């Protein structure tokens, strides 16, 4: 049962939060891949606070900078969450 929980819980978080994170990031002009595993509610809150790169009044270069910064945040959060999951699973075995 514990092994099933170690596999099912991360998958559940990815399904419940990953799909909405990917959708919202794409609508705001960010990379869905960068935000796919961005930590559930924490990632969602951060993504909501980022500006919409499609609607912000800025030059093309400023929009690119916003997208790069937002995607970097998503990648960092995703990597941290994946490392936490690996550590959590290895501690459980």
Q: What is the pTM of this model?
A: 0.75
What is the predicted pLDDT for the residue at 38?
81
Length of the chain: 93
Q: How is the chain split into domains, by residue range?
A: 2-92
* Averaged pLDDT, 56-70: 88
- Asked if residue 3 lies in contact with residue 22, where contact means CB atoms within 8 angstroms, the answer is no
pLDDT tens digit sequence for 8-57: 777 787 788 888 899 999 999 999 988 887 867 888 888 999 988 888 78
DSSP label of 52: -
* Averaged pLDDT, 85-92: 75
Per the rule left: phi > 0, alpha: psi between -120 and 50, beta: everything else, 37 is alpha
What is the predicted pLDDT for the residue at 25?
93
């Amino acid at each position: 049962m514990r092994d099933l929980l170690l596999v099912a819980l991360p998958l559940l978080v990815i399904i419940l939060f990953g799909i909405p994170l990917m959708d919202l990031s794409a609508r705001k002009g960010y990379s869905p891949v960068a935000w796919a595993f961005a930590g559930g509610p924490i990632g969602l809150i951060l993504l909501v606070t980022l500006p919409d790169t499609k609607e912000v009044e800025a030059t093309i270069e400023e929009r690119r900078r916003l997208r790069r910064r937002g995607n970097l945040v998503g990648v960092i959060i995703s990597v941290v969450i994946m490392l936490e999951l690996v550590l959590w699973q290895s501690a459980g075995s």
